[in-house]
Amino acid sequence: MLILLPPSEGKAAPASGSPVDLDALSFPELTGERVDLLAALVRLCRTDPATAASALGLGPQQADEVARNAELAQAPAAPAREVYTGVLYEALGLRSLRGATARRADASLLITSGLWGLLRPSDVIAAYRLGGGVSLPGTGPLAAYWRRPLAKSLPATAGDDLVVDLRSSTYTAFWRPTGDIADRTVVVRVLHEHDGRRTVVSHHNKATKGRLVRQLLDDGRASGARGPRTPEAFARTLTRLGWTAELTPPPRPGRPATVDVVVAEVATS
């Protein structure tokens, strides 16, 4: 099972450590794109901070984010599991994983990143500011920038496994499954049920997704070699783990199925 995660806007900047080694990151076929994008981001933030702030969607009080980007090539780096600190990652608790569970996380989790393309939790990166919806001057929209290389990397990585897509809409634009891989892909939504009505959860769905992924990793039957291989089996696995999970078949061939995780209380952490 391959679980696709978004990055988090919140990041912890490592206080010490060697800079990122692009050649050491997973998915070496993406090194060329990483080199070019990192250089473009650093150059923009060094030479034109005002334009950089506008492109990155930053306000006057966030000038330090631009300054940090300007020094990315020399900035201390740490494993991605320690750098990402958003709601989903806090609920998932990657930093606390040990032993077999940590190994399952590194094998099963893929983070879609505006700067790095794809990452595993153990990949060593610097803290950065580059949201997936950004269009960099001279580079263009990041979704378009990454679409072609990820169209090769992700299917090859998924192989015959089930793909569980927990990405936000911004990052689904980086890669959309097609053909037979779409038949093995399931998109997870979180719905809040209250007084008989269901609503799509926005911000706090991240905490629910983090807790859900943590359960899957802790449960060897779910994330190991005998884990679910179809959307139907995935929905049954969530039910076994105590979730209310409802499967909706794809609207047409070549599109992913959807599993709605229905919660009575919205998780905040």
Tens-digit pLDDT profile for residues 27-53: 999 999 999 999 999 999 999 999 999
In this predicted structure, what is the pLDDT of residue 266? Answer: 63
**Type of residue numbered 175:** W
Domain count, the chain: 1
The verdict on residue 196 lying in a domain is: yes
The verdict on residue 269 lying in a domain is: no
Q: How far apart are CA 141 and CA 114, in angstroms?
A: 10
The verdict on residue 228 lying in a domain is: yes
Domain coverage including residue 206: 2-263
Does the pLDDT of residue 169 top 60, yes or no?
A: yes
With 0.85 as the threshold, say if the pTM is over it. Answer: yes
The verdict on residue 65 lying in a domain is: yes
User: What would the mean pLDDT of 225-234 be, rounded to a whole number?
Assistant: 87
In this predicted structure, what is the pLDDT of residue 52? Answer: 96
Q: How far apart are CA 102 and CA 137, in angstroms?
A: 38
In this predicted structure, what is the pLDDT of residue 65? Answer: 95
The verdict on residue 258 lying in a domain is: yes
The verdict on residue 99 lying in a domain is: yes
